[in-house]
Amino acid sequence: MAAAVLALGIILFPASSFNPFSRGVRAFAIPPLAQVVDQKSFNVLETVLPPAEANSTSGFVWPGVTEESLNAKPFHIYDDEFYDIIGSDPTLTIVASSDTNPLFHEAVVWYPPTDEVFFVQNAGASAAGTGLNKSAIIQKISLAEADAVKSKRIATGNVTVTVVPSTPQVINPNGATNYKGQIIFAGEGQGDTVPSALYLMNPVEPYNTTVLVNNYFGRQFNSLNDIAIHPTSKDIYFTDTLYGYLQDFRPVPGLRNQVYRLNEATGAVTVVADGFTLPNGLTFSPNGEYAYVTDTGINHGLLGFNLSDPSSIYRYDVKEDGTWENRKTFAFVAAGVPDGVHCDSKGNVYGGCGDGVHVWNPSGKLLGKIYTGTTTANFNFAGDGRMVVCGETQLLYVTLAASGAPIS
Ligand SMILES: *[C@@H]1O[C@H](CO)[C@@H](O)[C@H](O)[C@H]1NC(C)=O
Ligand SMILES: *[C@@H]1O[C@H](CO)[C@@H](O)[C@H](O)[C@H]1NC(C)=O
Ligand SMILES: *[C@@H]1O[C@H](CO)[C@@H](O)[C@H](O)[C@H]1NC(C)=O
Ligand SMILES: *[C@@H]1O[C@H](CO)[C@@H](O)[C@H](O)[C@H]1NC(C)=O
Ligand SMILES: *[C@@H]1O[C@H](CO)[C@@H](O)[C@H](O)[C@H]1NC(C)=O
């Protein structure tokens, strides 16, 4: 089969026009902050450590590289298609940091009218003290301030981080998305008495909020995690999972972990997918044809890791009527878990993973990584060529060639 394809390739694509096999030696200029990763260099290792030593949390530093060399040039090219994504001069800048408090965790929503990006603190992390005792907070930055320091690798102190006093407060916010000029946050809830809910927030003062849904036929959700708006129907899809319980700030779960859909016009809440261990991030392809859901199943929160569970992205076909079918395993991530997931304008898929943001083409081929060497639970584009990445104790600003998918 391979030989037949090869022969066909030679007949149909003489070297003078387009030779797909010459791509590897095509004269790409490697951008200053990029490096090429030769995957063959680690196909066969002299020593392959057992799972108790080499696993999703241990980090992978293969022969010929060091943690320093991986960080020095953080745009890792795994496939030539990545050159088009990063462009000729991508940048990565740490624009804010904290000692241990995971202030830069999730959401990541760009609000074009003020050119600000909103993000949230980790709910349930002991270093934050959030979860049961107090709610995680929402904060924001101005992208003009971030862009002014993009030529630096570290620019903490140059970018102002402002607390957003949502009113009534979004309790333990996590994922978020643009929605008709406003922002929807998934609140994970707090203890037995504050149910998990979707909150609509006005992105300008006084940051007033309205709860869109806080129950399923009278039953509390477990802990809502992330939200995505279907690009054409504008229906609100959201994931419900166990992290509130696995981080000790929500009761024993009363519902299955699954993905729901809310039709705002009728109020109807329906289930579109289940069968996950811990469903987490979700997004749609720009044309709405596909839905992507991450499953962070290996990470059981305070209970530790079960390495045989999913660390995967699943893809579904979205039918005309908004229901989903044809679940396909799109990617499995070796470093940490794929948490937040977003597409660019061309339908390439980006996932926030244990060592940075991984990028796949629509076939699930790994094109490259925006490497941070640390967990980046979520991130998002801020229009054309700009991205904000949450690294728990670091907030990063990235510039690259790719553009975000249109926002709802
Ligand atoms: C993963 O490897 C680290 C060492 O890098 C070890 O401390 C940890 O216990 C391992 N995790 C599991 C679940 O075996
Ligand atoms: C919550 O507060 C109690 C009492 O002050 C304290 O013992 C506990 O460690 C706190 N929990 C978290 C997760 O911070
Ligand atoms: C960033 O902060 C440094 C130190 O405070 C200051 O010298 C520099 O002018 C600032 N740069 C920008 C672009 O604001
Ligand atoms: C915020 O308040 C304004 C003025 O009362 C109202 O029109 C708007 O719907 C509110 N937005 C939200 C998200 O609650
Ligand atoms: C990990 O998950 C598998 C599949 O659900 C289960 O059989 C196994 O007992 C789990 N292991 C641990 C240590 O929880």
Q: 134 CB under 6 A from ligand 2?
A: no
CATH code that applies to domain 75-403: 2.120.10.30
Q: What's the token pair of residue 166?
A: 């949502």
Buried b (16+ CB within 10 A) or exposed e, 270-284: eebbeebbbbbbbbb
Give tens-digit pLDDT for 184-205: 999 999 999 999 999 999 999 9
pLDDT attached to residue 16: 38
Q: Give the nearest ligand 5 atom to 303 CA.
A: 14
What is the CB < 6 Å shell around ligand 5? 306, 308-309
Inform me whether the pLDDT recorded for 14 exceeds 80. Answer: no
H-run or E-run covering 36: strand 34-36
Q: Give the nearest ligand 2 atom to 131 CA.
A: 13
pLDDT interval class at 63 (50, 70, 90): very high
**Distance (Å, rounded) from C-alpha 208 to C-alpha 307?**
42
For residue 286, count other CB atoms closer than 10 A to its CB.
18
Residue with tokens 């809310």: 262
pLDDT attached to residue 28: 76
Q: 149 CB under 6 A from ligand 3?
A: yes
Q: Give the nearest ligand 1 atom to 58 CA.
A: 5
Give the Å distance between the CA of 385 and the centre of ligand 3. 23
Q: What is the pTM of this model?
A: 0.92
pLDDT attached to residue 26: 55
Give tens-digit pLDDT for 380-394: 999 999 999 999 999
Q: What's the token pair of residue 313?
A: 């992205």
Inform me whether the pLDDT recorded for 170 exceeds 70. Answer: yes
Q: Give the nearest ligand 3 atom to 158 CA.
A: 1
Are 213 and 197 contacting, i.e. CB atoms less than 8 angstroms apart?
A: yes
pLDDT attached to residue 22: 45
Q: What's the token pair of residue 340?
A: 């937040």
Candidate of 57, 311, 337, 355 to mutate for ligand 1, largest count of ligand atoms within 8 Å of Cβ: 57
**Distance (Å, rounded) from C-alpha 250 to C-alpha 216?**
16
Between 13 and 119, name the one with better pLDDT.
119
Give the Å distance between the CA of 201 and the centre of ligand 4. 8
Buried b (16+ CB within 10 A) or exposed e, 27-41: eeeebebbbbbeeee
How is the chain split into domains, by residue range? 75-403
Average pLDDT, the chain: 94
The number of the ligand nearest the C-alpha atom of 185 reads 4
Give the Å distance between the CA of 277 and the centre of ligand 5. 11
Inform me whether the pLDDT recorded for 6 exceeds 80. Answer: no
pLDDT interval class at 408 (50, 70, 90): confident
Q: What is the maximum span of the chain, computed from C-alpha positions, in angstroms?
A: 70
Give tens-digit pLDDT for 340-362: 999 999 999 999 999 999 999 99
Q: Count the residues in the chain.
A: 408
Mean pLDDT of 9-15: 34
Burial class (CB in 10 A: 0-12, 13-18, 19+), 2: exposed
Inform me whether the pLDDT recorded for 322 exceeds 50. Answer: yes
Inform me whether the pLDDT recorded for 7 exceeds 90. Answer: no
For residue 63, count other CB atoms closer than 10 A to its CB.
8
Candidate of 158, 159, 160, 397 to mutate for ligand 3, largest count of ligand atoms within 8 Å of Cβ: 158
Bridge partners (DSSP) of residue 139 are 119, 163
Give tens-digit pLDDT for 275-308: 999 999 999 999 999 999 999 999 999 999 999 9
The number of the ligand nearest the C-alpha atom of 305 reads 1
Mean pLDDT of 250-271: 97
Task: Report, in this order, helix, strand and coil percent for the chain, each rounded to 5.
Answer: 10, 40, 50
Mean pLDDT of 267-274: 98
Peptide bond before 173: cis, by omega within 30 degrees of 0?
Answer: no
pLDDT attached to residue 13: 35
Q: Which of 116, 295, 279 is nearest to 207 (CA)?
A: 116
The least confident of 2-16, 68-82, 207-221 is 2-16
For residue 120, count other CB atoms closer than 10 A to its CB.
31
Neighbouring residues of 303: CB distance < 8 A, sequence distance ≥ 6: 246
